């Protein structure tokens, strides 16, 4: 950074100085040239006046000012006098540009190569009243010489300035970077902030970001600790849940092996083994599903799912189970425009973008609970309610209900309100937890409410 500041400062000042020098030299050149032009005119006028008052004899004792050359030419171009060259040797000047122009316009100023002296020359010619022409000239190189004369000290000055600029740029770069190096990033402070007021907002931002970083780290640690607790609880719960049916299977099968059980009791004990094995299978299935849901290991493509038809098929599947306790299942729907639909309106579609198997698991779990925790001759109503951007799936039952203090916990893994009843009806304690994951996967939420008139009302809302 210091290098960059140094480079930029140095290059900028160098360019500035070079530009300034060029402008100075340019205007010097301009003024030198116009001074020379002015000097030629003045001298021409003086000489003209002298010729008028003194006459030709003026040139006898004449000496031109240093650097200038005076030529007097007759109206027909003959050179009458020249201050530097013997006029008798000079050819006719009538065709010289400045002479021709002066004859025409009264005066003329021309810069050209001198035929006589072979150098670039500035001429000023003036037509006198008697028809003769006075011409004053000066080597044009004089201007260049003057320019060259100032270039040398300018270059010297430039070099001195370069050294000064180098030192200043170096100092500036270090002075800018030094306070930044003095910032304590941990505390967002500076040892001495005096003279560096502009840094204060930066310090404030560093402090704000430090607070944010601290908060984030704390939250991450908390999250990590929570996950760790969760994992530990989950593992402990799984071991416990698996052990119970296994112990029962192992105990009963041992009794069968040892012949302790009377032949007529064998079917009952075998049924017990079968029931526990069934529990183990559904438990293992649920554990696998929930682990995959939690690890978001289900790269399943979403598709258009007709959730009303899906609810009807779940109802048909669970009807046998429900009929055992004479529980009646119904499916109804409501379109976004308020139209009510019944089980017979199989041509009407209520679709969502989702994963068919997951949504099926969700409705099965909700209905399964509504049957399991229901009373004899009870009712389970499944309603699919369409909203603009969401779909509401409501499963209501006339069962035992869930107390207010348990409502917040039923979606946790392995949570059961009444452990023995849950086991009795074949629950794994994972059903609602799976429902919650599926709903979240579909960008929604699930809630438990009391059903008016007793029982439970489960409301899942997912994105369409």
Binding residues for ligand ADP, rule: CB under 6 A, are: 369-370, 373, 397, 399-402, 410, 415-418, 422, 427-433, 456
Please tell me whether residue 1 adopts helix, strand or coil conformation.
coil
The number of C-alpha atoms within 13 Å of 147 and in the hemisphere containing its C-beta is: 18
Neighbours of 270 (CB within 10 A): 14
Cα distance between residue 422 and residue 425, in whole Å = 5
CB 46 within 8 A of CB 206: no
Task: Give whichever of 126 and 279 is closer to ligand ADP, judged by the CB atom.
Answer: 279
What minimum distance in Å lies between the beta carbon of 336 and ligand ADP? 27
Task: Give whichever of 62 and 415 is closer to ligand ADP, judged by the CB atom.
Answer: 415
What minimum distance in Å lies between the beta carbon of 416 and ligand ADP? 3
Task: Give whichever of 73 and 461 is closer to ligand ADP, judged by the CB atom.
Answer: 461
What minimum distance in Å lies between the beta carbon of 225 and ligand ADP? 25
Task: Give whichever of 206 and 370 is closer to ligand ADP, judged by the CB atom.
Answer: 370
Cα distance between residue 410 and residue 400, in whole Å = 14
Cα distance between residue 6 and residue 2, in whole Å = 6
What minimum distance in Å lies between the beta carbon of 212 and ligand ADP? 38
What minimum distance in Å lies between the beta carbon of 313 and ligand ADP? 20
Task: Give whichever of 165 and 432 is closer to ligand ADP, judged by the CB atom.
Answer: 432
CB 173 within 8 A of CB 2: yes
Q: Please tell me the total number of residues recorded for the chain in this structure.
A: 464
What minimum distance in Å lies between the beta carbon of 370 and ligand ADP? 5
Task: Give whichever of 136 and 371 is closer to ligand ADP, judged by the CB atom.
Answer: 371
Cα distance between residue 91 and residue 79, in whole Å = 7
Neighbours of 397 (CB within 10 A): 27
User: Would you report the helix, strand and coil content of the chain in percent, each value rounded to 5?
Assistant: 55, 20, 25
What minimum distance in Å lies between the beta carbon of 342 and ligand ADP? 23
Task: Give whichever of 83 and 365 is closer to ligand ADP, judged by the CB atom.
Answer: 365
Provide CB contacts within 8 A for 392, sequence distance 6+: 383, 384, 385, 386, 459, 460, 461
Which backbone phi and psi does 183 adopt, to 5 degrees?
-75, 130
Task: Answer positive or negative: Cα dihedral of 98, 101, 102, 105.
Answer: negative
């Amino acid at each position: 950074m210091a290098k960059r500041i140094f480079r930029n400062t140095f290059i900028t000042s160098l360019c500035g100085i070079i530009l300034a020098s060029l402008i100075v030299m340019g205007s010097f050149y301009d003024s030198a040239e116009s001074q020379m032009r002015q000097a030629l005119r003045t001298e021409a006028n003086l000489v003209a006046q002298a010729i008028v008052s003194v006459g030709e004899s003026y040139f006898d004792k004449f000496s031109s000012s240093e650097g200038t050359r005076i030529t007097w030419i007759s109206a027909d171009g003959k050179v009458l006098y020249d201050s530097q060259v013997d006029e008798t040797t000079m050819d006719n000047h009538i065709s010289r540009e400045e002479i021709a122009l002066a004859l025409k316009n009264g005066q003329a100023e021309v810069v050209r190569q001198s035929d006589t002296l072979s150098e670039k020359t500035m001429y000023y010619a003036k037509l006198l009243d008697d028809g003769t022409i006075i011409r004053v000239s000066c080597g044009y190189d004089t201007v260049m010489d003057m320019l060259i004369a100032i270039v040398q000290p300018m270059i010297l000055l430039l070099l001195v300035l370069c050294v000064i600029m180098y030192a200043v740029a170096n100092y500036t770069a270090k002075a800018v970077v030094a306070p930044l190096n003095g910032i304590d990033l941990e505390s967002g402070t500076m040892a001495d902030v005096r003279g560096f007021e502009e840094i204060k907002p930066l310090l404030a931002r560093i402090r704000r970001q430090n607070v944010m970083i601290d908060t984030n780290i704390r939250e991450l640690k908390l999250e990590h600790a929570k996950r760790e607790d969760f994992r530990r609880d989950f593992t402990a719960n799984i071991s416990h849940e698996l052990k119970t049916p296994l112990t029962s299977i192992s105990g009963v099968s041992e009794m069968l092996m040892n012949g302790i059980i009377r032949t007529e009791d064998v079917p009952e004990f075998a049924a017990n083994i079968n029931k526990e094995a069934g529990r183990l299978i559904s438990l293992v299935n649920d554990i696998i599903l929930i682990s995959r849901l939690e690890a978001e290991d289900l790269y399943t493509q979403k598709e258009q799912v007709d959730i009303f038809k899906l609810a009807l098929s779940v109802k048909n599947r669970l009807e046998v189970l429900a009929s055992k306790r004479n529980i009646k299942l119904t499916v109804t729907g409501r379109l976004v425009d308020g139209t009510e639909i019944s089980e017979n309106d199989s041509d009407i579609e209520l679709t969502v973008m989702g994963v068919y198997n997951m949504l099926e698991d969700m409705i099965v779990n909700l209905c399964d609970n509504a049957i399991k925790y229901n009373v004899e001759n009870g009712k389970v109503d499944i309603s699919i309610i369409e909203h603009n951007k969401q779909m509401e799936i409501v499963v209501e039952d006339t069962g035992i209900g869930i107390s207010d203090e348990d409502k917040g916990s039923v979606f946790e893994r392995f949570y059961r309100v009444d452990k023995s009843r849950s086991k009795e009806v074949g629950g794994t304690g994972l059903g609602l937890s799976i429902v919650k994951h599926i709903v979240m996967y579909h960008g929604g939420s699930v809630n438990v409410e009391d059903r008016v008139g007793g029982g439970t009302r489960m409301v899942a809302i997912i994105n369409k």
